[in-house]
Structure 1
Amino acid sequence: MGANRTPELAETAVPAGTGATSGMNAERRRVAFATLVGTTVEWYDFLVYAQIAALVFGELFFSGLGQWSQLTALATTGVSFIFRPLGAILSGYLGDRFGRRIVLVLTLGLMGLATTLVGLLPTAASIGIAAPILLIALRCLQGLSAGGEWGGAAMLAVEHAGPGRRGRMGAFPQMGMPLGMMLAIIVMAVVNAVVGKEAFDDWGWRIPFLLSVVLVLVGHFVRSRVAESPVFAQLEEAHATAKTPLRELVRHNFGTVLTAAGTVVGNMAAGYMIVGGFALAYSTKTHGLERNDVLVWLVAATAVWIACTYIGAWWSDRAGRPIVYRVGYTMLFVMLLPQFWLLSSGTLLGTGLAVVTLAIPLGLTYGPQSALFAEMFPAKIRLSGVSLAYAVGAVFGGAFAPTIAEALTKNFDSVMAVAPYLMVMALVSLGVAFLIPDRSKESLSSH
């Protein structure tokens, strides 16, 4: 990753005003749009499950567990994370051997299939214990897909970036997560408003899952029109692709995998209070707030998250990635106690302010992630490295965060008990951020 490397194709200077410049800029726009659309669809599928599971799956699939039904339903959201490292390994192998584009197509198709089948699944009242088993199996398929999706999209975007724009280019797949969340919330709110709460809890919950078919077709069409990463093309031309990328990664860069994973655990844990369904379930079931009123505030929070994601990415191009992480995680640590005090108030305004302000440090620590991860790994094992690091961070950060939050709330009879847990996670990532050198000015070259 030294400065003596040959600049990769994506960062090769082209004289201003030439046709090559126009073509390159047009291709970058297509890549930015394709990675944004694809990750939005992928995260819509992944996150609509988390929200609906928090609302209705306890009663529909785990009612036999009594008081543990809600906790179990939230736990199924986390089970999928166990399969994300496997998805990361598989997609890393494919992406480092055969290119980034193939990963995007395969992961999107697998996620769409699993999500659609959830919408068609009979409940426990119809087929008994087979229902929760099939539900968990489909959630694991979603985890397998999610483990591979992010790395492929993020590296395709970053490796197409122009000089000094890796953070901003990498922000597009990053914005897909809150956009997917926003889309999931809007669809749920519309369906809930049209059919009513009783019908939604009975059968209307299936509609957001079934709509995935249309979204996946759109995402696949957009992604099929983008070019392969110029960095991977350069590797192929030089016959320098890794034959066994996972072996090389573990042998030479496993410490880097753990370091990169450490930068995201704080973001994942706190972020899943919003996207994992905890805030929605807590405010509606504990305090009796209207579902659609809370969903409106969650849409506002995701809008703030999107804006701060791009701001964080843009800032990281100017100031370096580590400084943005340090500021973001310091903000998160300081703000968590007041945010959970607001959430505990049980008022709609307090709940809204809690989730909206939480979105600010989440965006700052999410925006630079694609570029930061790309800069941490050599090109020939880059997709394997970033995918596995993200998956490991997700397992230790976000996997069971809603379940842990639910357990802490029940055990201490107060949602305030969740804040110290998240503060510890934020401190972990803040500490790791001080160990990372800034490589934003170095080349992503394979040589």
Structure 2
Amino acid sequence: MAPTPGRPARSRAARRVLLAAGFGNFMEWFDFAVYGFLATTIGSVFFPAADATGRLLAALGVFGVALLMRPLGGAVFGIVGDRYGRRAALSGSVIVMAVSTTLIAFLPGYATAGVLAPVLLVLLRCAQGFSIGGEWAGSSVFLVEQAPRHRRALWGSVVPATAGAGALAGALVTLGLSVWLSGEAMSSWGWRVPFILAAPLGVAGFYVRTKLEDTPEFQAVRRADSIAEAPLREALRENRRAIALVFFATATAAVGFYYLVTSVPNFLTSARVGLSEPAALAATAGGLAVYSALCPLAGVLADRFGRRPTMLLGAAGLVVVAVPAFLLMATGSVPAVLLGMAVLGLFEAMVNVTMVVLLIELFPARTRMSGCTTGFNLAGALLGSPAPAVVAWLAAGFDFAGSGALYLVAVALMTFLALVRMLPETRGRDLADHQAASASVPVPAMDRKTGAPA
């Protein structure tokens, strides 16, 4: 069979797009997740006056405060993306994350700077949260706007998969340091090493992203002289229903992801479970590897069967399996921990991957980044940010091994009940359509062999 003209060039372009979005997202979530893995050590460095539980809650509180900056970051990067291009927004977010994370590595501890130390930590974590406000949704828009119509969810799965891979890399780096260094060395300087890695990763991510052209959808908006003067205001006026849908979809996706990255490792090292930090990190790394591997499968399911059934199955699955998964992990057996995380990861992958394509398919092109970052980051700030601290409080305050899962169950149930009534099927929707995308659209028939529209 003769090669299709232009296919090698298209394949190279596709690889560059996937690399640019995936590598930058990997770097952002490596930086952000490392803090969660080092929460116990960071608590002892910056909040030494409290007891062990108080130090952990203080460190996780700083984690949550950072996420409260997501709506502001989403608003700023969303406006940049809609007015000046998706590439500009993504390049800016990766630089903010790299600079703020690198500076954390050089912060003085409480013993040196007193109360100034935690204040500076909070400020830099807020800068990280500001960056995350534009990264996930921005990467999703950048990828999915350039994906083949029948493979949008598969392409979009790169975003949660590389986020999981970044967190996995953070877990492995932290594991290596905890094994090779003494507790004293870890508290003195070892915890700084993963944050220092942000500098070269940030430079690489910025370089890769600046070498790409902007998405065809944004270029079409610009050629049509249809750039929104006030995209955030327009989105809030015209796309309120879509923003609400994204809020509910993101709620479970965000909470579930923070469970895998932050809550589970801290639960495993708690007095109830009693795993050592290296064992907990190794188990977490294994669970994140399974989750990342499941994301492309979830993308295939969402492309084949639709966004609505995949999202609802994922949310309902988390309602059912979250408590049993925590009971498995509470046994302290590493195989049981891996099984518990794999079960959580399966349904979390369905929710997270489907949420990525909904971010794009629910909004018109001219206000897409402003609209999707609004719903996405409000859910992350209001429901995702308190998750690690709430889980730690539930696990410590109730004599039930599965109590830490109750927050995830409540949020997933809320998502399911809201979306079962509200969520349209968006598979096959024309991304160039500038209508407010709040109603269902007919789904084109798909060719069974190629998966393309018939």
TM-score bracket, normalised by the shorter chain, equals: over 0.9
Q: Could you say which residue in structure 2 is the equivalent of 1:442?
A: 429
- Once the two structures are superposed, residues 375-404 of structure 1 have per-residue CA deviations (whole angstroms, 9 ceiling, x without a partner) of 100100001111112111212332010101
Corresponding residue to 2:5 among 1, 18, 28: 18
Relative to structure 2, which stretch is displaced further, 165-174 or 179-188?
165-174
Q: For the residues of structure 2 that align with 1:428 and 1:352, how far apart are their CA atoms?
A: 27
Corresponding residue to 1:213 among 199, 210, 221: 199
Q: For the residues of structure 2 that align with 1:436 and 1:93, how far apart are their CA atoms?
A: 26
Q: For the residues of structure 2 that align with 1:198 and 1:143, how far apart are their CA atoms?
A: 29
**Change over 3 Å in CA distance of 1:396–1:227 after alignment to 2:** same
Work out whether 1:323 is the aligned partner of 2:306: no
Work out whether 1:429 is the aligned partner of 2:411: no
Q: Could you say which residue in structure 2 is the equivalent of 1:351?
A: 337
Contact 1:257 1:389 in 2 (8 A): yes
Q: For the residues of structure 2 that align with 1:348 and 1:18, how far apart are their CA atoms?
A: 52
Corresponding residue to 1:297 among 268, 283, 286: 283
Relative to structure 2, which stretch is displaced further, 323-332 or 232-241?
323-332
Work out whether 1:172 is the aligned partner of 2:176: no
Q: For the residues of structure 2 that align with 1:155 and 1:254, how far apart are their CA atoms?
A: 19
Q: State the one-letter code of the partner of 1:64.
A: A
Q: Could you say which residue in structure 2 is the equivalent of 1:279?
A: 264
Q: State the one-letter code of the partner of 2:56.
A: Q
Q: For the residues of structure 2 that align with 1:229 and 1:432, how far apart are their CA atoms?
A: 32
Work out whether 1:101 is the aligned partner of 2:101: no
Corresponding residue to 2:46 among 39, 52, 61: 61
Q: For the residues of structure 2 that align with 1:89 and 1:145, how far apart are their CA atoms?
A: 11
Q: State the one-letter code of the partner of 1:212.
A: A
Q: For the residues of structure 2 that align with 1:337 and 1:359, how far apart are their CA atoms?
A: 14
Q: State the one-letter code of the partner of 1:61.
A: F
- Once the two structures are superposed, residues 209-239 of structure 1 have per-residue CA deviations (whole angstroms, 9 ceiling, x without a partner) of 0011111122122222222100000000000
**Change over 3 Å in CA distance of 1:444–1:203 after alignment to 2:** same
Q: For the residues of structure 2 that align with 1:163 and 1:348, how far apart are their CA atoms?
A: 41
Task: Report SS of the residue matched to 1:367.
Answer: helix
TM-fit CA distance, 1:446: 4.3
Q: For the residues of structure 2 that align with 1:370 and 1:141, how far apart are their CA atoms?
A: 23
Work out whether 1:249 is the aligned partner of 2:242: no
Q: Could you say which residue in structure 1 is the equivalent of 2:253?
A: 267
Work out whether 1:43 is the aligned partner of 2:29: yes
Q: For the residues of structure 2 that align with 1:163 and 1:354, how far apart are their CA atoms?
A: 34
Task: Report SS of the residue matched to 1:63.
Answer: coil
Q: For the residues of structure 1 that align with 2:326 and 2:177, how far apart are their CA atoms?
A: 29
TM-fit CA distance, 1:32: 0.9
Corresponding residue to 1:160 among 146, 156, 161: 146
TM-fit CA distance, 1:44: 0.6
Q: State the one-letter code of the partner of 1:225.
A: K
Q: Could you say which residue in structure 2 is the equivalent of 1:194?
A: 180
Work out whether 1:379 is the aligned partner of 2:358: no
Q: Could you say which residue in structure 2 is the equivalent of 1:73?
A: 59
TM-fit CA distance, 1:271: 2.4
Task: Report SS of the residue matched to 2:99.
Answer: helix
Q: For the residues of structure 2 that align with 1:111 and 1:341, how far apart are their CA atoms?
A: 36
Corresponding residue to 1:33 among 7, 19, 22: 19
Q: Could you say which residue in structure 2 is the equivalent of 1:368?
A: 354
Q: Could you say which residue in structure 2 is the equivalent of 1:125?
A: 111
Contact 1:256 1:376 in 2 (8 A): yes
Relative to structure 2, which stretch is displaced further, 81-90 or 366-375?
366-375
Q: For the residues of structure 2 that align with 1:179 and 1:229, how far apart are their CA atoms?
A: 25
**Change over 3 Å in CA distance of 1:349–1:168 after alignment to 2:** closer
- Once the two structures are superposed, residues 10-47 of structure 1 have per-residue CA deviations (whole angstroms, 9 ceiling, x without a partner) of xxxxx98122x443332122101111111000111111
Q: For the residues of structure 2 that align with 1:202 and 1:289, how far apart are their CA atoms?
A: 23
Q: For the residues of structure 2 that align with 1:273 and 1:442, how far apart are their CA atoms?
A: 32
Q: For the residues of structure 1 that align with 2:317 and 2:412, how far apart are their CA atoms?
A: 9
Q: For the residues of structure 2 that align with 1:268 and 1:151, how far apart are their CA atoms?
A: 12
Runs of at least 4 residues of structure 1 off by over 4 A? none
Q: For the residues of structure 1 that align with 2:11 and 2:270, how far apart are their CA atoms?
A: 49
- Once the two structures are superposed, residues 132-189 of structure 1 have per-residue CA deviations (whole angstroms, 9 ceiling, x without a partner) of 0000000000000000111221111011111311111111122121011011011111
Q: State the one-letter code of the partner of 2:47.
A: F
**RMSD between superposed Cα atoms in Å:** 1.7
Work out whether 1:151 is the aligned partner of 2:109: no
Contact 2:323 2:403 in 1 (8 A): no
In the superposition, the TM-score normalised over structure 2's length comes to: 0.91
**Change over 3 Å in CA distance of 1:202–1:288 after alignment to 2:** farther
In the superposition, the TM-score normalised over structure 1's length comes to: 0.92
TM-fit CA distance, 1:62: 1.2
Corresponding residue to 2:210 among 224, 248, 257: 224
Q: State the one-letter code of the partner of 2:4.
A: G
Percentage of matched positions with identical amino acids: 30
Task: Report SS of the residue matched to 2:381.
Answer: helix
Relative to structure 2, which stretch is displaced further, 395-404 or 406-415?
406-415
Task: Report SS of the residue matched to 2:149.
Answer: coil
Corresponding residue to 1:183 among 169, 185, 188: 169
Q: For the residues of structure 1 that align with 2:268 and 2:232, how far apart are their CA atoms?
A: 43
Contact 1:263 1:432 in 2 (8 A): no
Contact 2:266 2:392 in 1 (8 A): no
